[in-house]
Chain A
Amino acid sequence: MRSRALAGGVVASAAVLTLGWQIGAAQVSALNAASPVTNSAGSGSTSSGSATTAPSPSASSSSGSSSSGSSSESSSGSSSSGSSGSSGLSGSSSSASVSGTFDGATTQTQFGPVQVEIVVSSGKITDVKALQLTNDGGRSVQISNQAAPILRSEALTAQSASIQSVSGATYTSQGYMTSLQSAIDQAGL
């Protein structure tokens, strides 16, 4: 029976499609539920527009853990973040004298993790390096490679994480900004 096969096929296909959509939607909401931790960290200090902000006591926190060199794999999840080489932190220093390299938190996106590292010299961000960029598939790598230089130069100009996201690289941009903000927080800028 043609019609029987057709009806069966349509119904079964609709069921399969619905199931797939539900699973996908559940995963998206799981990702969204996981991300507020990093998002709030980013949005919490949006006011810090410039390097002249007074140093907060939190800057001293970075002096405690100064071990993990540059390996990005060691930082797991979005909360842990190893700041490395916090050299210029001697007692009550102002942000102007902060120097060293600071790793941002690893931010999970749909297309892979994003993590950046900033190089600070005398309270000024002199370089932003991407330790990890969205890499789920060749297309993601292509996007990352296009977006990273733009995001870097924007960050160096703005000296903050309040930068424009690159169109076509929304997820990479968001991850980049979140991790960048976390690195800036580490440096206590």
Chain B
Amino acid sequence: MTTTVESHPRATLRPPPAQQVAADAAVRRRNRRRRSAVVDLLTILVWVSAAIAVALYLASPGAHDLSGTAGIVTSLGIVAGLVATDLVLIMLVLAARVPLIDRVFGQDRAIAVHRSLGKPVLYLILVHGLLITIGYGLADGSSPIGETISLFTTVDDMPLAYLGLGLFITVVVTSLVAIRRKLPYEAWHAIHLLSYAAVAVALPHQLSVGSAFADGTWQRVYWVTLYVVVLAAVVVYRFALPILLSYRHRILVREVETIAPGVVSIHLSGRNLDRLGVEGGQYGIWRFWTAKTWWHAHPVSFSAVPGTDSARITVRDLGAGSRRLGRIRPGARVSLEGPYGLFTARARTAPYLAMVASGIGITPVRSMLEDATLRPGEATVLLRGSDADQQYLWAEVGALAHRSGSELFAMVGPRPSGVDAWQSADDFRRGVTLGSTFPHLMESDLYICGPQVWADLVARDARRAGVPEHQIHQERFES
């Protein structure tokens, strides 16, 4: 079996009255219903927005001229372009860190959806260009290549549209997993920011070339409004609020402390940091304003709930960028976007709490445990490390578990080779499972944080054991 890190006298802590437990459960049920209602509503909104894009085209007389192949092909091309435009705007909103989306959905999941839309949107844009060129060519009696040249040279705004296409292709191709891995984060990010340029240069041809959004139509009004709203969301939530926040709280590096090989805790000072509204388990996107680090933003969890004038984050060096963080001098200015994340008590749905953390994944578990109000025996924590070096912050988690009357287990050792398992080789052989570790697994919210592959294996086992999907909480850090 796994080893208990510390035994503690649970008998001295009295369990709360039954009605308190029932009240908590009712609140969680209501919150969950509310969240899922908002998520459903947003999902429906995505569908409807795509439908409106097409419907507005159908509402223009030009769409009803389906005379012959040319008309049909052209119309399909236009529809593809419209849906692509709508989805691109949705992608921008998903990446804009809108508070509502983060609260009900989690920014990490929003980014996952954002990423999953990339390739389909590119295909739609390519189909749009291809079908319209073929359709126009059929109508004019010219070849697709001849038509491309004629569009390029004779129609205003088309050169810009082709530039936009080129930018979209660049952005999506550099985001393909295989290629992105080869690029430094900064290069990828710089290229990715070109998507704003791509959207900007693609806009004129939408307004000037087609007849669907001709000047004075309400179709045009709708699209221009949509662009303005999305742009406003990006400007406000992505840029203006973080700048305001950083200015208001004046965060500075107070101390950089190495707590394990390659792992540093960065102690921060600032004004009214408790007013950041950080919930245990959340993260921020940090930028350290020194000559060597300012151009790299790091998503890092709070490893403690911030006090009035101090906060702490803990980073493991996962790349050249985060390695440099270990050498930051005290006094460096820090800017913050956030706090973000749904890896918090607010996302809970079940009466018990089970937490599994591995490596640097301990940080949100630590602050969540610190922040949560727990009845004795409610929470069980399993800390996982591949070797003794990975036991940083374990003592702190031990103390917090003790304070709240939570059970704490540790599992050290590398994963078995040749088998997909999240356990250590020894414990895997012994038959340790989630069910054997967490006494009330089926009635527990399972919070998983650690390396992606490992965390996915834990989630897989939980699903196989029959834990409902809404009880599985996973923070995805790779952005």
A residues neighboring B (CB under 8 Å): 1, 4-6, 8-10, 12-14, 16-17, 19-21, 23-25, 27-28, 31, 110-112, 136-143, 145-146, 167-171
Contacts and interface: CB of A to CB of B under 8 A. Distances in A.
Contacts of B47: 8-10, 12-13
A148 to B, nearest CB: 13
Contacts of B56: 20
Interface in B47-97: 47-48, 50-52, 54-65, 67, 70
A9 B44 contact: yes
B140 A140 contact: no
A145 B154 contact: yes
A27 B59 contact: yes
A20 B54 contact: yes
B63 A24 contact: yes
Contact of B214 (A10, A21, A137, A145): A137
Contact of A16 (B51, B70, B140, B208): B51
A142 B46 CA distance: 35
Interface in B324-340: none
B61 A139 contact: no
A138 B61 contact: no
Given A19-B55, A138-B208, A110 B46 contact: no
A25 B64 CA distance: 7
Contact of B43 (A9, A25, A112, A137): A9
19 contacts: A5-B40, A9-B48, A10-B47, A12-B47, A14-B51, A16-B48, A19-B55, A20-B55, A23-B58, A24-B58, A24-B60, A111-B211, A136-B211, A137-B209, A138-B158, A139-B136, A142-B154, A168-B138, A170-B67
Contacts of B211: 110-112, 136-137, 139-140
B279 interface: no
Interface string B25-56: 00000000000100110011011101110111
Contacts of A141: 155
Sort A-B residue pairs by CB-CB distance and give the 10 closest, nearest first.
A20-B55, A9-B47, A168-B139, A13-B51, A5-B43, A136-B211, A20-B58, A5-B40, A23-B59, A16-B51
Given A111-B211, A146-B140, A8 B40 contact: yes
Contacts of B63: 24
A20 B82 CA distance: 14
A8 B64 contact: no
Contacts of B213: 137
Interface residues of B, number: 45
Nearest to A3: B40
A13 B210 contact: no
Nearest to B157: A138
Contacts, number: 114
Name the prevailing secondary structure of the A interface residues.
Answer: helix
Contact of B55 (A1, A17, A111, A136): A17
Given A20-B54, A23-B59, A24-B64, A5 B39 contact: yes
B308 interface: no
B258 interface: no
A13 to B, nearest CB: 3
B59 A24 contact: yes
Nearest to A137: B211
A168 B141 contact: yes
A21 B140 contact: no
A111 B62 contact: yes
Contacts of B51: 12-14, 16-17
B150 interface: yes
B58 A21 contact: yes
Given A142-B151, A142-B154, 6 more contacts: A1-B40, A4-B40, A28-B64, A110-B62, A138-B209, A141-B155
Nearest to B43: A5
A91 B299 CA distance: 91
A140 B158 CA distance: 14
Contact of B155 (A12, A21, A139): A139
Interface in B212-269: 212-214
A134 B156 CA distance: 16
Interface string B134-147: 00101111000000
A13 B48 contact: yes
